[in-house]
């Protein structure tokens, strides 16, 4: 019994010694915390946007897309050059049987095909061009929407090429007012890029956009336009030139138009790719 009591007292003494040490001499040392993970931080969408914003990644897209289009791959510096731009915003009237008119490097005239009136657009420029011809028939919009849409490329006309698009159903006295004509000379890869962009994305009205046929064998990009871009178009803060300029330099499968982007007015005006800084 006395031996057991001695063992209990010995254990108690050890416990007291440990408690006293911890109280007066500090706490036991713990292993150091592992370092915080290094590298980029953010959501998956933010990380992807950061990667796509890299000039090296952008250059790799230029190379792979040029291979797909069977055209020479441009450098980032070449893609940052200003595109030659022409505009005619005077009011012109086109009528069947009247001579063609020439605006912003394009020749325009009307023809009748069965019960429809079509606009024939000839590219007179020695380059592929992105183009926008804004027209207003002198008939109700509902009447013109009833015409069958001829297939054509609403974004690009090849060098010396022609586009023929449906304007309206034929009626006696039909006239077409040309409100604005814009053209932008673009290199080969830009032709490939723009042909994959739905015309609605650059502000082309549905009456004219519905006949669009783009790059053969390629799936069109999304026709959805952000609220910021739509609002900018409605207010006139963003124009066709700004949108066409952006998509002539960026693959629409990867890059979305930043609402602050404006067309290049000089070579190398800003870095590429142009991405939304908020992402």
Residue 92 is part of which domain span? Answer: 44-249
User: How far apart (Å, rounded) are the C-alpha atoms in residues 279 and 274?
Assistant: 12
The model's pLDDT over 13-68, given as tens digits with 9 standing for 90+, comes to: 544 455 455 455 555 555 565 555 555 565 665 566 678 899 999 999 999 999 99
Cα angle at 124 between 241 and 165, to 5 degrees? 70
pLDDT of residue 220: 81
| 65, 92, 143 from 73: Cα distances, Å | 8, 40, 45
DSSP H helices in 53-112: 55-69, 76-79
CB 176 within 8 A of CB 167: yes
User: What mean pLDDT comes out for the span 75-98?
Assistant: 97
Q: Tokens in use for 55? A: 């000039």
Tell me if 264 is assigned to some domain. no
Q: What are the DSSP calls for 163-205, one per residue?
A: EEEEEEE--TT-EEEEEEEEEEE--HHHHHHHTTS-GGGGT--
pLDDT of residue 141: 83
The model's pLDDT over 113-136, given as tens digits with 9 standing for 90+, comes to: 989 999 999 999 999 999 999 999
Nearest 5°: phi and psi at 20? -60, -40
Tell me if 242 is assigned to some domain. yes
pLDDT of residue 258: 95
User: How far apart (Å, rounded) are the C-alpha atoms in residues 153 and 136?
Assistant: 19
Residue 4 pLDDT grade (very low, low, confident, very high; cuts 50, 70, 90): very low
The model's pLDDT over 195-253, given as tens digits with 9 standing for 90+, comes to: 999 999 999 999 999 999 987 656 789 999 999 999 999 999 999 999 999 999 999 99
Tell me if 261 is assigned to some domain. no
pLDDT of residue 125: 97
Tell me if 263 is assigned to some domain. no
As for how many domains the chain has, the answer is: 1
Strands 85-88 and 156-157: unpaired
CB 130 within 8 A of CB 214: no
DSSP H helices in 55-136: 55-69, 76-79
User: What mean pLDDT comes out for the span 89-118?
Assistant: 96
Query: CB neighbours of 265 closer than 8 A, spacing ≥ 6?
Result: 82
Q: How many residues does the chain have?
A: 279
Residue 90 pLDDT greater than 80, yes or no: yes
Task: Tell if the pTM clears 0.85, that is, is over it.
Answer: no
CB 193 within 8 A of CB 65: yes
Is the bond preceding 174 in cis, omega lying within 30 degrees of 0?
no
How many other C-beta atoms are found inside a 10 Å radius of the C-beta of residue 143?
A: 13
pLDDT of residue 15: 45
The model's pLDDT over 136-167, given as tens digits with 9 standing for 90+, comes to: 999 988 889 889 999 999 999 999 999 999 99
Residue 8 pLDDT greater than 50, yes or no: no
């Amino acid at each position: 019994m006395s031996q057991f009591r001695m063992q209990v007292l010995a254990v108690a003494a050890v416990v007291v010694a440990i408690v006293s040490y911890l109280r007066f001499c500090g706490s036991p040392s713990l292993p150091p915390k592992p370092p915080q993970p290094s590298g980029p931080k953010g959501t998956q969408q933010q990380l992807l946007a950061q990667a796509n914003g890299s000039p090296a990644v952008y250059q790799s897209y230029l190379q792979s897309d040029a291979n797909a289009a069977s055209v020479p791959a441009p450098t980032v510096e070449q893609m940052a050059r200003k595109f030659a731009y022409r505009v005619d915003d005077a009011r012109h009237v086109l009528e069947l049987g009247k001579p063609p008119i020439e605006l912003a490097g394009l020749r325009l005239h009307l023809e009748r095909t069965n019960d429809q009136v079509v606009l024939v657009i000839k590219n007179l420029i020695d380059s592929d061009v992105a183009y926008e011809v804004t027209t207003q028939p002198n008939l109700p919009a509902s009447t013109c929407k009833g015409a069958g849409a001829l297939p054509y490329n609403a974004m690009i006309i090849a060098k010396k090429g022609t586009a023929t698009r449906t304007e309206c159903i034929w009626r006696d006295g039909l006239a077409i007012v040309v409100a604005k004509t814009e053209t932008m000379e673009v290199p080969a890869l830009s032709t490939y890029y723009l042909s994959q962009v739905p015309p609605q994305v650059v502000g082309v009205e549905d009456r004219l956009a519905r006949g669009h046929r783009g790059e053969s064998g390629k799936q069109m990009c999304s026709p959805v336009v952000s609220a910021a871009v739509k609002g900018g178009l409605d207010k006139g803060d963003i124009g066709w030139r700004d949108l066409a300029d952006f998509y002539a330099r960026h693959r629409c499968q990867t890059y979305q138009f930043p609402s602050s982007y404006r067309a290049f007015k000089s070579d190398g005006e800003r870095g590429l790719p142009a991405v939304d800084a908020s992402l």
